[in-house]
Structure 1
Amino acid sequence: MSFRFLIVSFDGLRPDLVSPELMPNLCRLKTVGVTLANHRTVYPSETRSAFPSLVTGATTGCHGMVGNKYLDRSVTAPRFIDTSDAVLLRRLDLESGGRLYSAPSLGEIMAAAGRSLAVLATNTPGTTRLFHHKAEDFGHVRLSGHFREACTPDDVLAAIEAQIGPLPPTPPKNEPDHVGQHWITSAFLDVVWPQYRPDITILSYGEPDVTSHFHGTGAEATRSIITHCDRQFGRVLDWWEAEGRQAGVQIFAISDHGHITGHTRVSVADSLRAGGFNPSDAPAPDGEVVLVPGQVGALYLADPNEAKITRLVATITSEPWCGPVFTSGKDEINGIAPGSLSNNLVFADHVRAPDVAFSFRADDTVDPFGLVGGTFYDNDRAPGLGLHGGLHPKELAAVGIVGGSAFPDVGSASTLSSGICDVAPTILHLLGIDAPKTMGGRVLDELLRPASPPELSVRGEIFEARLGSYKQVLRRVTVGDTSYVESGMAEN
């Protein structure tokens, strides 16, 4: 029997929120599948870095989506890029001759093999496009639960709207998105699967991420939308048990990152000014350093010489909010600025990478909902809300559960480290399609052959950097030839 694959993603779902009370259906998959107990995302732990890693099987430094937002210095006048904009991403891909990604994506690979990839998502329009940024070039299905500009082909969208109802309007950001999750689930079950039977389908629920950002990771509204998404997944699981499994469908249930809780608001721009810099949030004639907004700090200097980078790192590492800091590599471990580590250690060295990247300082405080993980932050929201992007273990922890005939050790858990980059090479292996050399993820052979698992060496690695009273510690684990970032923390 030939395999088909369904990847179901829950954006921003922490693994420790997968419980029988909140998510009985995802727990039902655990009983008939295999749980990846040490599954992680990439750095930065942002959605539009992580999902490109899902579809390229590569880390940020390889595929080039270095953050939700970045500064494009490949053009004469540097420009600020917000990757939530699907129309902008299409234009960038066309302008660059098809090189939006610096690595082949799953949709391109499948098309070259005469196979299909379908996407149904309620994430931002840009995220939806990034799952399969060339879908219109191959006639593949890509549907947003809200945004027409991310949908293709037009006739497929029209047929779905005629059968299950019009594309739902985008709900206000402070309201959980119930309708969108139901719509994309119905679109898959009622139209996309029965009429098109894609070789791979990505069904991406944009929750609980948005609700966590605006209500808190353990808030009642967030718990409610988690349960709602689980009910939609229950519809999918019912279909799989009645029909999909017999048709050779293998399920990957994943998340792209976790959340921790913001506890202390700060102003990075004020700290930079106090350090003698003139920051701006976009390229400007008199701007000395562009500060890209977000929970992962990205600093782009107008004149990125080593002396200025060194002074910039010294400025931020003297602040109590500063967590791990990365610059281009002086060697395999150290960055060019004292106190920084090399971008290479977190697999984030790319031409689009900032001159200085930092995470806000995180800790293991317990939030009002009883969840471990707190952090400094820089935005206009109140304390107590969900955040991600950095290197706290709870930000990097991701859901990973697989089910189907390819994974025979049902009801078990694999304790070997795995990551979001491993999904694509495992799928291609099962389809008999050669993975490109850009895929740094590994085939999860231990799930495919549990009776005779491969002998893989496992070793931990610790890297440190210091500057005055500032110290950062990065932890990784390597399985065979594949390394995963476990955590990065800083202290004074």
Structure 2
Amino acid sequence: MRHPMVVIVICDGNRPDFISDATTPEMAALKRTGTWFDNHRGIFPSATRASSAAIATGSYPLHHGLRGNSVGLPIPGGHEFHDAGKPEFYDTYRRHFGRMLTRPALAERVAGLNGAIISANVSPGAAFFHDSYGHGHMFHRELCYGPGRIPTGEQITSPSGAEGDAIMTERFLTALDGMRPSTATLWLSEPDKSMHAAPLGSDIHLDALRGADLLVGRVAQAVERLRDDGHDVLFMVGSDHGHEAVTEVIPVERRLFQAGFKKELESPEVIVTPQGGSAFIHFGGDALARRDEAAHWLREQPWVREVFMGEYLASLGQIPSDDILAIDMAKTEGTNINGVPGLSAMAVRFSETEDDIRQHCGVHGGRGAFETRPVLMATGRGFSGGRTVTDTTSIVDIAPTAMAHLGLAIEQVDGRALQGR
């Protein structure tokens, strides 16, 4: 039966200025033939797991509840570090809060229509928080499930990177053709994986872009076949954040210990949850009284651009709390060794040995001009060809745009529908 559909492809970490006829001809063609959003923005932190939840729910972390790529959960005397990308974190999060995300995802909203499919080659956290209550069909190397989060028993071997992206794209195309769902999301790990591992603008990075572009082209062809069959398809291609090049790696938690804000290096009263180009710092126990002093000290550090705390966090779409502050790592004018603009310091917890590995490679998570600039283009009803939108848009607009196309009520979202803008 013919019905409206929304097809979304996310090329993790892609930047608008990386799209060109020479390197990404498929995306460059879609940019010309569809509507291009030239002032598209990410969230804070510009990190994949919280961004995945933001894209799925149309909401900022303040309202969907997942703070970032890593989080600190309270324990006696302080907080405990958790990587939100790990497969076990899904259950840890649910046990701690007694719930998952606090706003419904697209998969839940279309459960009464023709359902949702999600094919993701990113971390389990980024995949599972895209459909935190398990309303859709998930295809992931860690777990494949159907509605109700009931495992299907299907096993997919898809390593992060180009090889796994190709495998997940084939699985996505099979499901898209066979199921014809209301919403279908493909999340590729490239070019993000290669940008973290190699200097921006390097042959490795450019090859990753070419590979992701070919997969976008495969999906674009499938969309045209669906349209030929009479389906009204909205096709959106984008990314969750951009990237900047690393200037230096700062072990923020070690620096706080050395400055006397922690009793022991790994004690729980002060912990840092790095987000790449930013970090959250959690205070507990008697260290809570030193939060303001720590904020003052951090503002004096050359590797910090800005400190956020209190209700100012809410103005950034983040979850405010009296026991937390956030830092945006220092940004620098100029380019990396390959002439790619956008430079940022990178936050880690303890390691002193990552400078030589990370310099000139990609990082994101902060509020720099390039890490907060993801990609978005759209073709289909409501999006005229060859048009450029210069108004500010956001990744939280993707879900409301899908909802508008499907005729769903646009409620419990922070974003807005982009049709006709």
Structure 1 window deviating more from structure 2 (426-435 vs 199-208): it is 426-435
Give the 3-state SS of the residue equivalent to 1:396 in structure 2: coil
Structure 2 residue 326 is matched with structure 1 residue 344: no
Change (3 A) 1:366 1:302: same
Distance in 1 of aligned mates of 2:264 and 2:191: 32
Distance in 1 of aligned mates of 2:123 and 2:283: 29
The correspondence of residues 298-317 of structure 1 with structure 2, limited to 5 A, is: 298-303=280-285, 307-317=289-299
**Per-residue deviation, residues 99-155 of structure 1 (Å, max 9, x unmatched):** 2212222222222x34411100110122111111222xx4x31011xx2x3321488
Could you say which residue in structure 2 is the equivalent of 1:225?
A: 208
Structure 2 residue 124 is matched with structure 1 residue 125: yes
Could you say which residue in structure 2 is the equivalent of 1:411?
A: 386
Distance in 1 of aligned mates of 2:51 and 2:347: 21
State the aligned residue count: 408
Distance in 2 of aligned mates of 1:36 and 1:74: 43
Could you say which residue in structure 1 is the equivalent of 2:219?
A: 236
Structure 1 window deviating more from structure 2 (411-420 vs 291-300): it is 291-300
Could you say which residue in structure 2 is the equivalent of 1:142?
A: 138
Could you say which residue in structure 1 is the equivalent of 2:159?
A: 170
Give the 3-state SS of the residue equivalent to 2:246 in structure 1: strand
Query: How much has 1:311 moved relative to structure 2?
Result: 0.3
Query: How much has 1:361 moved relative to structure 2?
Result: 0.5
Query: How much has 1:310 moved relative to structure 2?
Result: 1.0
- The one-letter amino acid of 1:317's match is R
Could you say which residue in structure 1 is the equivalent of 2:59?
A: 58
Q: 1:266 aligns with which of 234, 237, 250?
A: 250
Work out whether residues 280 and 291 of structure 1, in 8 Å CA contact, stay in contact via their aligned partners in 2. Answer: no
Q: Which runs of 5+ in 2 are unaligned?
A: 349-353
Distance in 2 of aligned mates of 1:281 and 1:60: 29
Distance in 2 of aligned mates of 1:278 and 1:95: 25
- The one-letter amino acid of 1:446's match is G
Q: 2:235 aligns with which of 245, 248, 251?
A: 251
Could you say which residue in structure 1 is the equivalent of 2:351?
A: none
Change (3 A) 1:273 1:74: closer
Structure 2 residue 326 is matched with structure 1 residue 357: yes
Distance in 2 of aligned mates of 1:312 and 1:397: 30
The correspondence of residues 93-108 of structure 1 with structure 2, limited to 5 A, is: 93=94, 96-97=97-98, 99-108=99-108
TM-score normalised per structure 1: 0.77
Query: How much has 1:275 moved relative to structure 2?
Result: 2.7
Give the 3-state SS of the residue equivalent to 2:54 in structure 1: helix
Give the 3-state SS of the residue equivalent to 2:145 in structure 1: coil
Give the 3-state SS of the residue equivalent to 1:129 in structure 2: helix
Distance in 2 of aligned mates of 1:195 and 1:280: 56
Could you say which residue in structure 2 is the equivalent of 1:458?
A: none
Could you say which residue in structure 2 is the equivalent of 1:335?
A: none
Q: 1:215 aligns with which of 154, 179, 198?
A: 198
**Per-residue deviation, residues 17-74 of structure 1 (Å, max 9, x unmatched):** 0111111001121222100011111111000111111011111111111110111128
Distance in 2 of aligned mates of 1:124 and 1:291: 21
Work out whether residues 281 and 293 of structure 1, in 8 Å CA contact, stay in contact via their aligned partners in 2. Answer: no
Work out whether residues 281 and 291 of structure 1, in 8 Å CA contact, stay in contact via their aligned partners in 2. Answer: no
Give the 3-state SS of the residue equivalent to 1:446 in structure 2: coil
Give the 3-state SS of the residue equivalent to 1:73 in structure 2: strand
Work out whether residues 35 and 389 of structure 2, in 8 Å CA contact, stay in contact via their aligned partners in 1. Answer: yes
Give the 3-state SS of the residue equivalent to 1:416 in structure 2: coil
Work out whether residues 48 and 68 of structure 1, in 8 Å CA contact, stay in contact via their aligned partners in 2. Answer: yes
Could you say which residue in structure 2 is the equivalent of 1:421?
A: 396
Q: 1:389 aligns with which of 351, 362, 365?
A: 365
**Per-residue deviation, residues 138-185 of structure 1 (Å, max 9, x unmatched):** 4x31011xx2x3321488664xxxxxxx733536xxxxx222111111
Distance in 1 of aligned mates of 2:77 and 2:117: 36
CA RMSD of aligned residues (A): 2.4
- The one-letter amino acid of 1:124's match is S
Work out whether residues 71 and 300 of structure 1, in 8 Å CA contact, stay in contact via their aligned partners in 2. Answer: yes
- The one-letter amino acid of 1:249's match is V
Distance in 2 of aligned mates of 1:77 and 1:415: 45
Query: How much has 1:433 moved relative to structure 2?
Result: 1.4
Distance in 1 of aligned mates of 2:337 and 2:78: 46
